[in-house]
Structure 1
Amino acid sequence: MENRILDPIDRNSEILFGLFMVLSFTGTLSVATAGQKEVREMLIAALGCNLAWGFVDAVMYVLRNLVTRARQARLWREVIAASGEPAHDLIAQELGPLSSALGPSDLERTRQWMVAQSLHRAPATGLTRQDLLGAFSVFLLVFASTFPPVLPFLFFSEVRPAMRVSAVIGIAMMFLCGYGWGRYAGLQPWRAAFVMAALGAGIQLVIIALGG
């Protein structure tokens, strides 16, 4: 589990971010006036947008990890420097509601463990290989999510059927993301999938009504 680059929430979120971005472009086409020129411009704009958004999201992923680890390292140092109740309070604040199940002796054992491990187990604060792999994964997911919804525009000569098939693909992708979220969260996966698909269908209806 610790070696996982992105958890299911991150993976599905990045796919949905990219998906919503590309659908905002496919939805701008008008079935009445759009021709090959407009379709080509839309495809270029969608690819360029998700290319840029994937890069920005990857950078933000790295920054978020660096800030999180810096905060963890600071907490680690503060706990080691403190003793008794102040150290226990710091640990309890970090644990949140879970700390209610721990007594002073439990918190003290945690503090002592942190002190004993301080020389070689304190959180790293610099850039890691895992950060770079995660950033690349984020970029790849956002950019790759561009292609399924735009493929119909490459195979259909008319805009209307291409938009409808693109909408179905988008809803199917949302269905799969919802299923993944539901399974990860311990909910009923199929229910979560249908809720996400219904949300996607609603978004598609709005897009078609406004742009098609």
Structure 2
Amino acid sequence: MPLTDDVAVRRRISRQAQATHERREQILDAAVAAFNESGFNGTSIRDVAARVGMSHTGVLHHFPDKAALLEAVLDRRLERAVAEFPLETGDGEVFLRSLVALAERDAQAPDDLRLYCTIAAEALSPTHPAHGYFTQWYHQARASVLTALLDLERRGHFTGHGVSIETAAVQIASMRDGLNQHWLLAPDEVDLVGATRAQLRFYTDLDL
């Protein structure tokens, strides 16, 4: 218990806990590389273990199966994005600017983006372990965009040009999926950040 209400207790992280965290990060990095190369279905736990220099059972000590490993990879990607950009804000202007900043970040990390696109495509199958994950994620994305656009409308900055806010939310939430594919296949021909910014400007009079 803290000695005072406004002083937090500092707890020392044990060496074992730190080592476990670092090992899990190494496994997740290896999984990203393996999934990028062969997709989820074409990757085995043994493939990931070999990249880290561990045994098959060693990886399973941290992640009970391949589905759990995939979920951890996706969770880490989302957690990093939320930590870096205010994507859960109700401020429409901040949200749209965050989408542009996220595109700038993704343009610098093509492997991470490629993994997302690969797994998202595979997850269209109802039997894929990430199917429910992406169903929930896309629902959440549409809801977040809708909240942002409603805020812009209240402040007089929504310019949908006849498009309803509900439809605009779907369009914005879907925009990057198509752009990602074009950019990953032809990065010298497609401006990921510029196209993202230009499309968002269709819905607002703000200078993004």
* Class of the TM-score when normalised by the shorter of the 2 chains: under 0.3
Per the normalisation by structure 2, the TM-score is: 0.27
Whose helix proportion is higher, 1 or 2?
1
Structure with the bigger RCO (C-alpha within 8 Å, sep 6+) is 1
Per the normalisation by structure 1, the TM-score is: 0.27
